[in-house]
Amino acid sequence: MNNAVGLSHSAFFYAQLTANQNVNFDDVAVYSGLSSEQPYNAENSCSAENSYSTENNSNTVKGAFESDSVQPRFFSVVDRIIFTFQPKRGKLDFYQLSRARDLVARFGSFAIPVANAFCRLVTFSGYNRAMQRLQRAYDYACVNEHCEGEGFNRFCTDDQLRDLASQFVRDVTTIPASNSDRPNLIADDKLDYLANVIFWFNQEFAYDFTPFLNKYLNRYDIPGLLLRFSSEIYVRRLLNAIRAEYVQETSRIMGMLSDSKPYTTDWLMNIYERRDRKTQEFLEAMGIYDVNGELICTLDDAHKSSVSHKPNRIAELLVRAKGLCEVAQELGCEGWFIVLTTPSRFHSVTTVNHKSKNDNDNNNSKNNTILVPNIRWEENGYQSIKAGHQWLNSVFERVRKRLNKKKLMPPGIRTVEPHVDGTVHWNFLFYCYPGEGQQIIDIFREEALKDSPGEPGAKKHRIKIEKVDYSKGNGFSYVLKYIVKMSGCQNVKGTKELTDRLSDIDFNDAVNRVSTWSRSSGIRLYQFFGLPSVTAYRQLRTFRSELHSGDIMMRQFTPEQTEQLEAMRLACDVGDFKTYIMLNGGFFNSDRFVSPYYYRPHCATGIKLNCYGEECNKIVFGIKFLDKVILTKYFSCEVKKMTQAEIQNLEIIRLLRDIEENGDREFIDCMNGVGSDDYFNDCPDDDLFLSGVLSRAKQTRGTRASAARGSVSSALDL
């Protein structure tokens, strides 16, 4: 037993096994009950109740152990996965498995998915290639630049992340005790203080912040950045973004993403599902109050009436895209659809043909291909998702500069979509005058192929071009599926029977996984160009009544100008984006009649300050029509937590309104009778309360609160 001193607990376990002296062994059953990516807690995984079933291993019980009678009790779920695994070809000895296990265990709550991925890599690529990937993932996620493991586990839970942020803020805002090893980071000079904070951030979390320092300094300046690093909320958000990036890239390194599990990992999906539930609870608990302290509506009602709500977002995107395509068709424009992807070095996997002897030539080509690790990605330093997105962004930037020099301003839309392995590619739909299309296409092709033009398949796969055939549709059908897929809104009408063209999963599952991918990567998914402002479109929709020359705001315009603005308002009110485009400058024109008006909010003491004591950014307060301001916001609101009585009051109001709209009329008449004069003579307090509720329900009918609640009905029935 003394020989085990100094060994890792895996080696200690093996020493006990080989010594076979006074060691308690239990029979190892076939483990089941845990999903392949169930969150794993390394500290709490040592109990005997933890169980797991390994895939592609019929001889699970034996694994690395020769004897049928001697079976050990494993220390953790990761031990069970690694030590019970053996590939069909070749045999791995204990020290090979122990080396892998020691690396896998460092991934914290992400260790189980990493262990499964390692076993799959061994099966398909061999032990050496699998260990190369595992070592790379470990170096990337668990070791700092000095080749030392650091304390920040990038795969920690949300609670652990909150504690880390809180501890960091205490470190940078307090003077350490005399017996503490922590240095004093506080300095009189702001620049020195910020340098100390950045150093401590790099030291504690092994994340190099310096490449982003100029961007943050230009945005916040030195005092503003110091204030943010002193905020627990800001630091937690920063650490959360770092964690999401590392989880996504580790999953690509370990080959976790496939046709059956594309775009992102189940681990990240579980994280965001829990966060969505907490967000929903927050929205339902908060209320929006006017300047008099009266409750207008809940924050959840306001959210559901805005474009932040997924059904409303997708409805607006489809309305805008449809308007773009209809205007182009009416004007006789050429339409072009372009798919632009990155060079091979940005892709973690590559597709190879795989056809068995039993396959016939009529089989779908998609079924005859498999995904394998991409050697070029490994040789070029495992390029990240954001690096690929930046490459595409630089290509499009060069394209736009060349188009501007030639006075070409094609209107269109750009959507972002991930490949199965998470690598990004862009889809363009744009329109131009007849005869200009080939010139624009040539510019796109030249810029796309400037980088690595000679790599195999570059001319075929780097850029794909298709001309819009108006006999089949006006271009809207080309982008419809991309918009719906990337919107994050599941179960949209008409998508039930669809399948995902890039993977083997159904369309709604793909929507959910892509939504998680976009949130973790922080990449902008949609961009319309060459069109009037959508912010002005939204502001015009806030006018609920007809505009007249006698209105106070309209007296600064002539009757003809008021008529022009009313026509634009009416088009926006009914969601006619085509008419809005034509009335607000049309295509191939940068001059617009209506644009958003931004203003810095004020309060009684002057310019309103944010939570860091800085002047608030300008926000939308209305529109500018012919360079004259029309306000759409006249008062400010306050968001705060509702009382229990207000929550119950709103629930009763909603229940009664629902019954009135869909329920029994006799019940409503009976309840309304409660408020009659005869009834009040001898009614109890509870009945008085109900009478007040009914009166309040009538008062709120048709107000902003009911309008917000009523806007959720059928946004997707286009």
pLDDT higher than 90, residue 668? no
pLDDT range class, residue 222, cuts 50, 70, 90: very high
Say how far apart CA 328 and CA 528 lie, in whole Å.
Answer: 14
The C-alpha angle with vertex 683 and arms to 681 and 685, in degrees rounded to 5, equals: 125
**Amino acid in the structure at residue 475:** G
With a cut of 50, say whether residue 708 has pLDDT above it: no
Reference 116, options 269, 268, 266, 271; nearest CA is: 266
CA distance 710 to 295: 17
Alpha-carbon distance of 416 to 514, in angstroms, equals 10
Mean pLDDT of 161-184: 90
Average pLDDT over residues 522-535: 93
Q: Which of 267, 257, 247, 255 is nearest to 419 (CA)?
A: 257
Top-confidence residue, 660 or 205: 205
- The residues with which 628 forms a beta bridge, in sequence order, are 625
Q: Hey, what amino acid is at 388?
A: G
* Residue 447 CB burial class (10 angstroms; 0-12, 13-18, ≥19): buried
- Cα 373 to Cα 350: distance, rounded to the nearest angstrom: 6
CA-to-CA distance for 81 and 587, rounded, in angstroms?
Answer: 60
Q: At 413, which helix (H) or strand (E)?
A: strand 412-418
Average pLDDT over residues 390-403: 96
**Element at 430 (helix H, strand E):** strand 424-432
Give CA separation, 29 vs 51, 59, 62, 270, in Å.
9, 11, 10, 28
> At a CB cut-off of 8 Å and minimum separation 6, what does 79 contact?
10, 13, 101
Mean pLDDT, range 509-537, rounded to an integer: 92
Q: What is the mean pLDDT of residues 574-600?
A: 94
The length of the chain is 718
Residue 491 or 17, more confident? 491
According to the model, what pLDDT value does residue 71 have?
Answer: 42
> pLDDT band at 25, cuts 50/70/90?
very low
Backbone angles phi, psi at 264, to 5 degrees: -155, 175
> 473: burial class by Cβ within 10 Å (0-12, 13-18, 19+)?
middle
Rg (alpha carbons) of the chain, rounded to whole number? 31
The residue among 638, 539, 615 whose CA lies nearest residue 584 is: 539
Residue 318's pLDDT band, with cuts at 50, 70 and 90, is: very high
Q: How far, in Å, CA of 514 to CA of 418, rounded?
A: 8
Residues pairing with 340 in the sheet: 426, 463
Mean pLDDT on 478-497: 72
The answer to whether the pTM exceeds 0.85 is no
Q: List helix spans (H) across 188-342.
A: 190-205, 213-229, 232-253, 266-285, 299-304, 310-331
Across the chain, mean pLDDT equals: 79
Say yes or no to pLDDT of 45 above 90: no
Please tell me the predicted confidence (pLDDT) of residue 446: 96
CB-based contacts of 415, cutoff 8 Å, min separation 6 = 426, 427, 479, 482, 483, 486, 525, 526
pLDDT at 10 exceeding the cut of 70: no
